[in-house]
Structure 1
Amino acid sequence: MGAGQSKAESDEHFSEEVVNNLSDNLASPDTPPERQSSLDAHIRSRIQVELARLREEEEHVREEIERALEKENLDRERDMAGDETDSGVGQVKSTTALLGDVDELRKQVERFHSKKDDDDFVAARLKSEAVVQCYKNNPSTTLDCWKQVDEFKASVAHLEERYVESLR
């Protein structure tokens, strides 16, 4: 029994010394610079690897979400098209049909802009400017501009006739 107690005391004393020594080593900021730079480089590389992994995972999740949303939109579009055509209320157009409509509208706008440079449009614009100039020159006697107004009205009427004919 006596031998057991003395052995426990020496182990306890030895452990205290080791603990004190280790705590002194940890408390001292005397880490060699080459060791510190090596540790820093290792930590930076681990962080870069982890960042790369997280970015890849984020991209993968984003792609999955986009695919799921695209599928959901297509399913919803099919369901709406099926519901609308079955009930006879109206018709929901597919994306390709809508793109065709947009293209047709774009062509009409281009035709309009090309006609805008037409001589009749230029003449109507000039007559409009003549009316404005006449009103500016005669602020108190605007009735003196009746001739310019009549010419402007005639040019606009001519443009309207041409437009209606182009729709036929």
Structure 2
Amino acid sequence: MGAAQSSPQADHVVTPQAEGTSVEFAPSLISRLATPASPSAPATGTDELVRRRLAAESAALRTKEAEILSSISSALEKENLDKDKGLSSEVLGRDIEEVREKVTRMAAERASKESPELVAAKEGVVACYAANPNTPLDCWQAVAAFKAEVNKLETAFVKSLQ
């Protein structure tokens, strides 16, 4: 039964007699199907033409992709350079110098804006503490006068903001 199916002369498909049995193919049929078909002139020419076209299209797409990637990367580099220019050490150094100059100017303006009454009250407190190093509580009147002058300046400043 199985000997006839596996004989080397069998080049045909064996069909099973009963349902549920498996189909077996002859080894020569399997080897013929596994080897490439004999090249015929029209089929090979068409296949080769398609392969060449695919290769050309693939190369063109790769070239286009490379161009797009290079343009994107150059645009990103330019954008990053523009951002970095705003954060360079020279720019930051100039900004710091401007802030220092403003602080110095404001301190000088504040010192020049002190009223003569405030200066006199401040000097009175300093003189009192210098005269009474062991009994600083005796200077409460000078301190109260200084606080009153500061309070006047604060009130004037707040009114100027309103």
Q: TM-score normalized by structure 1?
A: 0.40
Provide TM-score, normalisation by structure 2: 0.41
Instruction: Return the index of the structure with the highest Cα Rg.
Output: 2
